[in-house]
């Protein structure tokens, strides 16, 4: 199994790579022994991979620029359309949408309809939303989230924006932050993405990554 870890130039790739390799060890030995994580921004490598993982830290504009200036947006769209499984992490989720209030005028991958909005401020809410929070599954959840622990899963967040899909059914998990619900995970067909960081979410995160690799 070849896993393309997409290098946008704006992420903590080493921790994601380590987490993916650790998650692969939870798979049957015949699969785990063949798992390769290829950190790349080369379209010719991506087209030969079985899974695509897009992590991201920083800003929406930087993440999208890291994809579009190298033509990675096109190859990712083509591979997703061909049925290759995609996992987005943090900005790898936000970049799936059409736009973000964080970077007016910047067009995202537009693989999912909707935009990203800044979290609401209030006296009882700290922005960025940082730390552990408990998932609340929505719209039937998703097998990857169920494998991670479902409604009992505590996961780690660091973000100030979240996705607001035009189709609410795309939201597969939320968390409660103060008085607001925050989009924690979205999914459609072979695309699944988390606003939280599986690589920072300890055993829960490893179970989620292993479930993604099994798809």
Active-site residue (options: 49, 63, 90, 116): 90
Backbone angles phi, psi at 190, to 5 degrees: -90, 10
49 is catalytic: no
Among candidate residues 17, 142, 159, 199, the one labeled active-site is 199
90 labelled catalytic = yes
Annotated catalytic, 199? yes
Answer for the pair 35, 27: CB distance below 8 angstroms, yes or no.
yes
SS3 (DSSP) at 2: strand
The residue whose two tokens read 């943090």 is 90
Question: Are the beta carbons of 135 and 153 closer than 8 angstroms?
Answer: yes
Catalytic residue among 10, 159, 162, 197: 197
Q: What residues pair up with 36 in beta bridges, in sequence order?
A: 2
CB 161 within 8 A of CB 94: yes
Q: What is the distance of C-alpha 113 from the center of its chain?
A: 16
Active site (catalytic) residues = 90, 197, 199
């Amino acid at each position: 199994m070849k896993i393309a870890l997409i290098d946008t130039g704006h992420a903590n790739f080493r921790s994601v790579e380590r987490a993916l390799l650790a998650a692969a060890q939870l798979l049957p030995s015949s699969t785990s022994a063949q798992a390769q994580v290829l950190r790349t921004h080369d379209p010719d490598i991506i087209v030969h991979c079985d899974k695509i993982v897009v992590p991201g830290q920083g800003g929406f504009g930087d993440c999208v620029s890291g994809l579009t200036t190298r033509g990675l947006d096109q190859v990712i769209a083509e591979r997703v359309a061909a049925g290759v499984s995609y996992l987005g992490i943090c900005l790898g989720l936000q970049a799936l949408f059409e736009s973000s209030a964080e970077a007016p005028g910047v067009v995202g991958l537009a693989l999912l309809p909707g935009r990203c909005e800044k979290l609401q401020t209030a006296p009882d809410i700290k922005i960025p939303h940082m730390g552990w929070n408990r998932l609340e599954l929505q719209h039937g959840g998703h097998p990857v989230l169920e494998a991670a622990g479902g409604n009992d899963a505590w996961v780690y967040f660091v973000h100030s924006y979240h996705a607001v899909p035009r189709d609410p059914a795309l939201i597969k998990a939320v968390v409660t932050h103060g008085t607001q619900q925050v989009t924690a995970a979205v999914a459609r067909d072979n695309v699944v993405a988390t606003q939280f960081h599986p690589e920072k979410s300890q055993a829960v995160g490893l179970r989620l990554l292993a479930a993604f690799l099994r798809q």
